[in-house]
Structure 1
Amino acid sequence: MKRHYIPVTAGVPGVNESQRAIIRKAVRTALAAEGVDFPCEVDVLVTGDEEIRALNRETRQVDKSTDVLSFPAFDLCPGELPGPEDADPGTGLVPLGDMMISLEHVAAQAKEYGHSNRRELGYLVVHSVLHLLGYDHMDEGPMKAQMREREEAILGELGITR
């Protein structure tokens, strides 16, 4: 079977192979945990606060930097998946969407929460994959609780705990 394609582009200097490996492993683990058993593409851009702020302002009209932005290719509900019929005919991959992560936010939040940069990066990637698969947390109720529960379960599978 064809594997998932997870290009990780560095928009800032200092993105190393270890970080790229964590990103790819977190994407694959989250997809498997959510039952995505067909080959997909998830594009990841690792950048800084300035770039993510510009995109946040442009796409969400929020003029501030953030930790991660997710751009789903499909309008899904949690538990709903695109199918192999949604694959790009040229690649055979289902394009799930894009994510953009600020390395500056990863470092700042890891320090703020008292855990490793690795854990913070893994968490943000899992969080973003869940957004690509239709999870949301705009309310403070059941949707947010459902998303947090899935995040913790997937991080557990990755061996990344608080």
Structure 2
Amino acid sequence: MAKRNYIPITADVPGVSESQRAFIRKVIRTALAAEGVDFPCEVDVSVTSDAGIQALNRDIRGVDRPTDVLSFPAFDLIPGELPGPEDADPATGLVPLGDMCLSLERVKAQAREYGHSNRRELAYLVVHSVLHLLGYDHLDEGPEKARMRAREEAILGELGIPREMEKGEEGT
């Protein structure tokens, strides 16, 4: 059976294994399905270092510091709203949802900081980014942020990676 989604992953840092790439793809597909994305789409992923993501953050957002994940949605959506088949690229038949860039250094540092596995932190950041691509935001401290956090935890639960996962679980 052909894969419905195209999820290319590029890495400019060493040590990104095929199993990590497969895990990222699985997390993205799970998040898309959980949000009702039932059409073929494309999500481009870049895995980089703190320096790499800091350069992007500085150039695009004017913030000269590293961050954990950056999301670049192709559409201006609100949560629950999805692009349609008419938004597909005629050449590929895929709806381009956008790009995400992850700092592998931040994944590892935040996993240590929060006391959970690299795998959980990576999954969280990937889900977080997919939700941004689908119009979720957390700029306020109220209902938008709460809604996004609830969706993140629900999707991580579907993946079998709840918040309670402790250190020592499979890492990335």
The aligned residue for residue 118 of structure 1 is 119
Q: Aligned equivalents of 1:62 and 1:97: distance in 2?
A: 21
AA in 2 matched with 1:116: S
Q: Aligned equivalents of 2:70 and 2:8: distance in 1?
A: 16
The aligned residue for residue 127 of structure 1 is 128
Unaligned runs of 5+ in 1: none
Report Cα offsets for 1:72-121 as digits up to 9, x if no partner.
00000000000011000000000000000000000000000111100000
| Identical-residue share of aligned pairs (%) | 81
* CA RMSD of superposed structures (Å): 0.8
The aligned residue for residue 62 of structure 2 is 61
1:8-47 equivalences in 2 (<5 Å): 8-47=9-48
1:66-105 equivalences in 2 (<5 Å): 66-105=67-106
Matched residue of 2:136: which SS? coil
AA in 2 matched with 1:151: E
Q: Aligned equivalents of 1:11 and 1:39: distance in 2?
A: 27
Q: How many corresponding residue pairs? A: 162
Q: Aligned equivalents of 2:100 and 2:10: distance in 1?
A: 10
The aligned residue for residue 152 of structure 1 is 153
Q: Aligned equivalents of 2:55 and 2:22: distance in 1?
A: 27
User: TM-score under structure 2 normalisation?
Assistant: 0.93
Q: CA deviation at 1:2?
A: 5.3
| Superposed structure 1 runs of 4+ greater than 6 Å apart | none
Q: Aligned equivalents of 1:11 and 1:133: distance in 2?
A: 26
Instruction: After superposing the two structures, state which structure 1 stretch, 12-21 or 60-69, moved more.
Output: 12-21
AA in 1 matched with 2:9: V
Matched, 1:161 2:157: no
Q: Aligned equivalents of 2:131 and 2:90: distance in 1?
A: 25
Q: Aligned equivalents of 1:91 and 1:41: distance in 2?
A: 10
User: TM-score under structure 1 normalisation?
Assistant: 0.98
Report Cα offsets for 1:38-80 as digits up to 9, x if no partner.
0000000000000100000011100000000000000000000
Unaligned runs of 5+ in 2: 164-172
